[in-house]
Amino acid sequence: KKYNDTEIAAVDIILRYHADFSSEEANIWIEKRIGADRRLVQRNRLEHDSKYNSSYASELMESLSLDDLLHLSGSMREKVAEVLPHT
C-alpha cells in the first residue's frame, strides 16, 4: 500500500509530542493501526523532525500546532485523535 509521507509524519509527531508516546510506541501504533512499517516511519522522521535531522538547525514539522498536525494527518485524523488526552 502507498502511504502519504506527510500524513504519516504528522501522525508520528502527534503521537510522540502530544500523546507522550515513545518513538518505539509510535512505531508500533502506526504499524498496527495504519499499516506503515517502521522503516517508512523512521525515514519520515529524518525528513520531517529536526530531532532526527541534524542538517536543520531550526524546527521542522514538530513546531506546528496540534490543530495543524491534525489537519495534515488527513485520512488518519480520526484514528490518531482517539489517543490524544482530552482536556
Q: For residue 42, what pLDDT band results from cuts at 50, 70 and 90?
A: very high
- Predicted TM-score (pTM) of the model is 0.88
What is the residue whose three cell numbers read 512505531?
27
Burial of 79 (0-12, 13-18, 19+ CB in 10 A): middle
Quote the DSSP letter at residue 83.
Answer: T
Query: By percentage, how much of the chain surpasses pLDDT 90?
Result: 71
Report the alpha-carbon distance of residue 45 to residue 53 in Å, rounded: 8
| pLDDT reported for residue 52 | 85
Who has greater pLDDT, 55 or 32? 32
Q: For residue 51, what pLDDT band results from cuts at 50, 70 and 90?
A: confident
Average pLDDT of the residues in 12-22: 96
| pLDDT reported for residue 56 | 64
Q: Count CB atoms within 10 A of the CB of residue 83.
A: 17
Do residues 11 and 36 touch, judged by C-beta distance below 8 A?
no
Sign of CA dihedral 12, 7, 62, 42: positive
